[in-house]
Amino acid sequence: MTYFLAINLKADMTGDNKTFLNRLIFAIFGILLTLSFSSQAATRPAADTLFRRNPGTVTPKGPYRPEKPKKSDILYTRLDVQFDWVKQQVPASAILQFKPHFYPQNTLELDAKGFDIKAISLMDTSGNYGSLSTEAIAGKIKKKLEYTYDKRKLTIKLGQEYSRKDTLFVKIDYVARPNDVPRGKDDDSASDKGLYFINADGMDEGKPRQIWTQGETEGSSCWFPTIDAPNQKFTQDIYITVDSTYKTLSNGLLVGQEEGKKGTRTDHWKQSLPHAPYLVMLAVGDFAVAKDMMPNGLELSYYVEPKYGADAHAIFGRTPEMIGFFTNIFGVEFPWEKYAQVAVRDFVAGAMENTTATVHEEAVQNDTRSLVDGNSDAVIAHELAHQWFGDYVTCEEWGQLPLNESFANYSEYLWSEYNDGRFEADWGNLQEMKEYLAESETKQVPMIRYFYKDRENMFDSHSYAKGGRILHMLRSIVGDDAFFAALQQYLKSHAFGTAEIDDLRVAFEKVTGQDLNWFFDQWFHRPGHPLLKIQQEYVAATGKVLLKVKQTQDTLATTVYRLPLKVDVWVSGKKNQYDVVVDKVNQTLEFPAAKKPDLVVFDSDAQLLGVVEHEKSRPEMEFQYLHSDRFLHKYEALASLEGALADSTAKNILVKAMDDPFWKLRQMAISNFAEYAGTGFADIEKVIQNRAKVDPHPLVRSEAIITLASFGDNNSDPIYREALSDSSYQVVSVAIEKYLMGQPTDANEIAAQFENSPNDAIVTSVANYYAGLAQPERFDWFLSKMKAMKPTEKYNFLQVFGKYLIKSKQDIQRRSIPILEGLARENPSYFVRFGAFQALGLLTDIQGVTALRKDIRAKETEPKLKEMYSQFGDL
């Protein structure tokens, strides 16, 4: 699942419009989290290997979580579902084909949460239930079965004992009530409903009516009975009856449609290859559908809201090439019958990799012009890669989640490396590293967790960001050929099945012929990461350069790492590269050097997951920028020159970097000249003005405009004016803000020209101008614009709305309170709820607002937001 990512950090993001909600939250709060916790001593983490994996064992970290025992195997599921929009319920029937796994059974135990059970029947074992009519199915009933049900677990009494040689069918007639799912005291997913009605009563003007599902981790059993565990695999038929004006989507192929009574239609979707229960999906709504076809006949389809129909190929159009790319490097053909992607409203995650049918949250939808500023290739590649890693081969238990998510995360890197080049991929790699390191300030746990309290906590930056970086290191150690051959071995060995981490290790050992227990032990089974402090010394008498390497991490809590890596030693402008292994707490590495080196680069391949402290002089950093061929080392060098403009050599390096081939380095160099007024100013300003006008990357043009505005002169006003017609919405939004900041005579005219832009960032820039004017008549304009925005931009807009309220009179402030309260309590996006809560914090001078905020905090149920309130609730 692409999950859980406002301060607008567009200037520090990739060209990818990454929609992972975790990444958004990292962008909003990562710095604050680091500052809040960096001074606190974290509880010493412990490897899971310290605890015995005995059934029933409970540790401070949580109970032992084995693979769910298999009493019975579900082989096939047929669902017939309808929808009661008024009651938001699902009248349905389920036919399950199953058999005892090994030991004889006289009951079938199912997960079924919050159902009204109408009847349960034992069925005839003959016949193809996937193609039978409901009337024919009724004729197959052999007898009614007794059962016990506590609204969460359904135990069906089979009437006799059956062996593993027996295959049975049962039919369950029920009504699913996803809004009324009872919660157990130890329930991990306090807010999971499995199936969601969006704008069910149609009263939310401008929002489409939709139904969609989200099964991960155990949400599927909120709308159909099953054994809700990732180690079950079955085929399925789903018959979905809807109003004939709606389109449907589900797993597998649409094999039939039948018109019904009163303007209804029943669609028959058939999934003929086995997959896990959490990957079962359906979606219902008014969608425009665009299609592509692979050379082998595989159909690809893209479901979007009708207004984005013309943009669907621009949004998803790289999917065919991605499938070809992943097929080639994974060594396994795309394993399913079709691949569809659908964008829905109010989705509870960033995206979800349901088999053959990925669900995306609405932010993936953008008009074609918006895609100039960045596409959603990262999340599209992530979810697509799951069709192999997660769907085709599934982690056997949620504590093994990195087998799903780490591979999907790293596939973002692989696609970027192929499509955009290594520097772009390495920039993304650095962002992922920062995300994990920010989380590690307060949380360090093993990647593979046999003991945990809440399975939802597996969906963290360890499973995603850290896991992707671990795979990158593994690829560097074994080499590309072995890495991808091992992935093929792993996938083929566990096709349509499940796996645990040792299966991955064994696949790599079979291919490489090497023991890799050391690697998997330190990176997957132990918490933390290496902290390395390096002291460099040149000994002229011996003609050697020494690197004294110390591992400063808590080696009792983590380990002493074994780190194969490369070291570059530059002498007289010539590079020599050495392979070394760091495997001691204190270790001295020696390298020949006829004279004092120009530069020594530790981990010259820039592949290490960890923190390296290696002090270098400014001349060394300047040499590093000019001579390194790795993005990370160039980035590190430029970052070290921040604030060094008084040094003419450093300044010249930064001027040169404004013409670097890679956009991020150009952007960094330009930003260093903010508020510059030193020697050569006129020439430097001309260079930045040129970048604002002609740089090929919109984030560089935007950064140039921001930097020019910091100079405080009017020399660049014509450039801001010209940028109002830039092809990039991002550039236009920045240009509007900077142009209006100068209070030109046509300010009101320009604001009016853009106030109804289809782009939320541009509207937010106009709103910032209006906020400064604090005109009472603009109140309704603010509300109407905020209502229509996507969740990510709505958070940003709330900050500007707060500025408007601070400058407004108290009657306007009072009118805003119920609006903000509604958003803070009810908006589906928890970060929007947080933004509204923050905005209310600006109004605490008004009686009752403090108590209102206290009540909102007390009644919040989302774990992530509750944690944010506990840390930042007073902001």
* pLDDT tens-digit series, residues 697-713: 999 999 999 999 999 99
CA distances, 490 to each of 143, 261, 381, 389, 467 (Å): 45, 49, 20, 10, 17
* Spatial separation of the C-alpha atoms in residues 227 and 111, rounded to whole Å: 6
Task: Give the amino acid at 278.
Answer: Y
Task: Give the amino acid at 308.
Answer: Y
Q: What is the pLDDT of residues 543-557, one digit of tens each?
A: 999 999 999 999 999
CA distances, 830 to each of 98, 481, 544, 651, 866 (Å): 40, 43, 57, 44, 10
pLDDT of residue 48: 74
* Spatial separation of the C-alpha atoms in residues 217 and 523, rounded to whole Å: 25
Cis upstream peptide for 217 (omega within 30°): yes
Q: What is the pLDDT of residues 657-709, one digit of tens each?
A: 999 999 999 999 999 999 999 999 999 999 999 999 999 999 999 999 999 99
Contact yes or no for 64/53 (Cβ under 8 A): yes
Task: Report the predicted TM-score, pTM, of the whole model to 2 decimal places.
Answer: 0.94
SS3 state of residue 678: coil
Nearest one of 212, 257, 221, 253 to 235, comparing CA atoms: 253
pLDDT of residue 123: 98
Q: Which two tokens stand for residue 86?
A: 């008024």
CA distances, 377 to each of 142, 280, 406 (Å): 52, 24, 17
Q: Return the minimum-mean-pLDDT range out of 20-34, 299-313, 336-350, 492-506.
A: 20-34
Contact yes or no for 69/174 (Cβ under 8 A): no
660: DSSP letter: -
Q: By percentage, how much of the chain surpasses pLDDT 90? A: 90
* Spatial separation of the C-alpha atoms in residues 187 and 517, rounded to whole Å: 35
* Spatial separation of the C-alpha atoms in residues 6 and 75, rounded to whole Å: 47
Contact yes or no for 538/597 (Cβ under 8 A): yes
When computed from its CA atoms, the radius of gyration of the chain, rounded to whole angstroms, is 29
Model confidence at 863, pLDDT cuts 50, 70, 90, reads confident
Give the position of tokens 């309130």: 869
Q: Give the distance between the most distant pair of CA atoms in the chain.
A: 96
* Spatial separation of the C-alpha atoms in residues 720 and 748, rounded to whole Å: 16
Contact yes or no for 593/544 (Cβ under 8 A): yes
Q: Which two tokens stand for residue 152?
A: 């969460």
Q: Backbone phi, then psi, for 242, in 5-degree steps?
A: -140, 170
The rounded Cα 768 to chain-centroid distance in angstroms is 29
Residues facing 532 on adjacent strands: 551, 612
Model confidence at 127, pLDDT cuts 50, 70, 90, reads confident
Contact yes or no for 792/756 (Cβ under 8 A): no
Dihedral angle at the C-alpha atoms of 293, 294, 296, 297, nearest 10 degrees?
-20
Q: Which two tokens stand for residue 307?
A: 């207004």
Average of pLDDT values for 424-446?
97
Catalogue the E-assigned strands of 500-585: 531-539, 544-551, 563-571, 574-582
Residue 643: is its pLDDT beyond 80? yes
Q: Return the minimum-mean-pLDDT range out of 50-54, 410-414, 447-451, 568-572.
A: 50-54
Average of pLDDT values for 756-782?
97
Residues facing 745 on adjacent strands: none
Q: For Cα atoms 185, 188, 191, give the angle at the middle one, nearest 5 degrees.
A: 95
* Spatial separation of the C-alpha atoms in residues 327 and 414, rounded to whole Å: 12
* Spatial separation of the C-alpha atoms in residues 2 and 405, rounded to whole Å: 8
> What b/e string do you get for 711-726 counting C-beta neighbours within 10 Å, with b at 16 or more?
beeeebeebbeebeeb
Task: Give the amino acid at 583.
Answer: D
Contact yes or no for 386/404 (Cβ under 8 A): yes
Q: Return the minimum-mean-pLDDT range out of 9-13, 355-359, 369-373.
A: 9-13
As a residue count, the chain comes to: 875
Task: Give the amino acid at 634.
Answer: K
What 3 state SS string does 45-73 have? CCCHHHCCCCCCCEECCEEECCCCCCCEE
Task: Give the amino acid at 675.
Answer: E
SS3 state of residue 652: helix
Residue 187: is its pLDDT beyond 60? no
Q: Which two tokens stand for residue 600?
A: 């020594």
Residue 619: is its pLDDT beyond 80? yes
Q: Which two tokens stand for residue 410?
A: 């790293």
* Spatial separation of the C-alpha atoms in residues 502 and 450, rounded to whole Å: 13
Mean pLDDT of the chain: 93
pLDDT of residue 300: 98
Residue 35: is its pLDDT beyond 90? no
By the 10 Å C-beta count (0-12 exposed, 13-18 middle, 19+ buried), 219 is classed as buried
End-to-end CA, the chain:
30
pLDDT of residue 862: 86
> DSSP for 233-287?
-EEEEEEEEEETTSEEEESSEEEEEEE-STTEEEEEEEEEEEE-GGG--EEEE--
pLDDT of residue 44: 54
